[in-house]
Amino acid sequence: MKDLSKVNNPYNDEKVISQCSIFGMMNTSGELVSGVPIITAIRNMHERGNGLGGGFAIYGCYPDRPDDYCLQIMFNTLVSREETENYLERFFHIHHSEEIPTCPLDAIKNPPDVWRYFVHPKMEEMHEVISEDDVVTRRVMRINTHLESAYVFSSGKNMGVFKGVGFPEEIADYFCLEQYKGYIWTAHGRFPTNTQGWWGGAHPFSQLDWTVVHNGEISSYGANRRFLEMYDYICTMHTDTEVIAYAVDLLARKHGLPIETVMDIFSPPVWEQIDRMGPDEKKYFNMLRSTYGSLLLNGPFAIIVAHHGEMVAHTDRIRLRPMVAGIKGDMVYASSEESAIRLVSKELDRVWIPTGGHPVIARLKVDEKHDVIVGGKELPGTTVMEAD
């Protein structure tokens, strides 16, 4: 029996060092938009990948079932699907299940079966006070570690991840993504750095409704992983990026930290800089580095993190990987290359290179007055800021 991690890697490379492409777009009014622009943008960065991984995350794509957790699972065998469905029936109320529609392509070789299940956890089975999110997380970890050839790669509400081995535009065609709509879209074209290209190892990585696309290399993976394992997160996808998704879930959802603080944990100033800060700022960063030092992301990275209501673009403090941000009306863009943004939105209200280590944060509008600060300037009509 073949393992999914060994399927569909035409080069059989153990290590390929190059680059990746990332792109994100958000409609801050919450309007659902087609995936055509982001597919066009990520295709424009085709040369940044090698066909070993591509994928998309979409928010708002299941409006008819907004309160159900959508477990999207890839299977390599019929037996693995049957075993997984037996497990789901034991621990979830299954409201609907179906094979995810695909459009066969010659470029996509030996794909796994990919299904989605709209579910709620059976809370009556729990003998402890625990949230639905924690129950779903626990069950997902169980499937990914104990059921052979079955991988849950998306588990949020009213959102979905679509990924696999191929160039991102091929993955978009394979999953018929032009037929979907969402108010946040993120995309990734992968050039695997330290791991083989395989379906589960493509980006985005997700935990509940948190998703991450990443360009770079996390050399602190071992320390990050050991810290997360203390909180029962189990890394199974064979890539460094997985720890970022789990770390965001731990820090933002479970520990209740604002996303600005999460990004400060990922890329804090060095100790020498902290020593020169004022008392309040020094106390803040000393606390973060002392408490969460093991979640510092060491190495070059540019990431786009998303969840319902928010999209965040962030880089390491010395910008070893590129990131460009742009705004046009209600649309906010983040990309590895400005050319990709210009291709889908030629006349931008603003385009800029974010400061290293300072996240660009786009949020849904919540009222009629939504002026915010963007790099020190008020931009009426936007909900975007570059954090201090």
User: Which pairing describes strands 159-164 and 54-59: parallel, antiparallel, or unpaired?
Assistant: antiparallel
Strand partners, 25: 185, 333
Alpha-carbon span 260 to 243, nearest angstrom: 18
CB neighbour burial string for 109-140, b if at least 16 within 10 angstroms, e if fewer: eebbbbbbbbbebeeeeeeeeeeebbbbbebb
Smallest CA-to-CA distance from 54 within 135, 153, 162 is with 162
Catalytic site includes residue 20:
yes
Residue 116, token pair as written in the block: 């989605």
Helices 132-146 & 78-91, crossing angle to 10 degrees?
A: 150
Which one is catalytic: 20, 61, 70, 235? Answer: 20
Provide the 3-class DSSP secondary structure of residue 346.
coil
Cα 66 from Cα 60, distance rounded (Å): 8
Structure tokens at 141: 């970890």
Non-local (6+) Cβ contacts of 339 within 8 A are: 44
Q: Which two structure tokens, joined as six digits, stand for 50?
A: 């090698």
Q: What length is written for the chain?
A: 388
Task: Please identify every residue annotated as catalytic.
Answer: 20
